[in-house]
């Protein structure tokens, strides 16, 4: 009986904490998730990771192809997306997020969208940390 009660409480806490994990307001959450989608955060990350893995596979041709495939399957893109989410949530308010989303949606060249230096630096740091974690995962899997 205690086990069922403990599970029920745990599930309730997880569900109740979702707004705090992903932001305070549902509309702010939606804006951030739309920015992440419009800016192709995950597809770009996958392209970068695939490029990194291709470089390593050429550098270490004795490592079996199955190792590289296994590595691709162990990349935690959700963790990276959450780190990007945290940056936008921390650095911008809802109005700024809405304005940024409009810029992305109406720009034929998203690279020209104007970001604050702090936001650029924080997004870069999140990407850099993701890259370091991928490098560490690769080195641990191939024994280097």
DSSP letters spanning 31-44: HHHHHHHHTTHHHH
Of 130, 137, 138, 136, the C-alpha closest to 41 is 130
Confidence grade of residue 139 (pLDDT, cut at 50, 70, 90):
confident
- Cβ contact 49:75 at 8 Å: yes
Q: Strand (E) positions, the chain?
A: none
Global confidence as pTM: 0.75
CA distance 144 to 137: 10
CA distance 40 to 42: 6
Instruction: Name the DSSP letter for residue 109.
Output: -
The pLDDT of 106-127, averaged and rounded, is: 82
Confidence grade of residue 142 (pLDDT, cut at 50, 70, 90):
confident
Quote the pLDDT of residue 24.
Answer: 54
The pLDDT of 86-104, averaged and rounded, is: 93
**Which range (1-5, 71-75, 96-100, 133-137) has the least confidence?**
1-5
């Amino acid at each position: 009986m205690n086990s069922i009660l403990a599970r029920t409480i745990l599930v309730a806490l997880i569900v109740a904490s979702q707004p705090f994990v992903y932001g305070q307001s549902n509309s702010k959450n939606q804006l951030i998730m739309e920015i992440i989608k419009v800016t192709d955060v995950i597809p770009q990350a996958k392209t970068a990771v695939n490029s990194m893995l291709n470089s390593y596979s050429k550098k270490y041709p004795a490592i079996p192809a199955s190792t590289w495939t296994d590595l691709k399957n162990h990349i935690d893109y959700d963790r990276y997306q959450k780190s990007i989410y945290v940056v936008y949530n921390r650095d911008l308010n809802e109005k700024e997020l809405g304005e940024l989303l409009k810029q992305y949606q109406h720009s034929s060249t998203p690279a020209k969208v104007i970001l604050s230096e702090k936001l650029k630096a924080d997004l870069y740091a999140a990407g850099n940390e993701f890259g370091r974690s991928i490098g560490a995962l690769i080195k641990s899997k191939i024994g280097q």
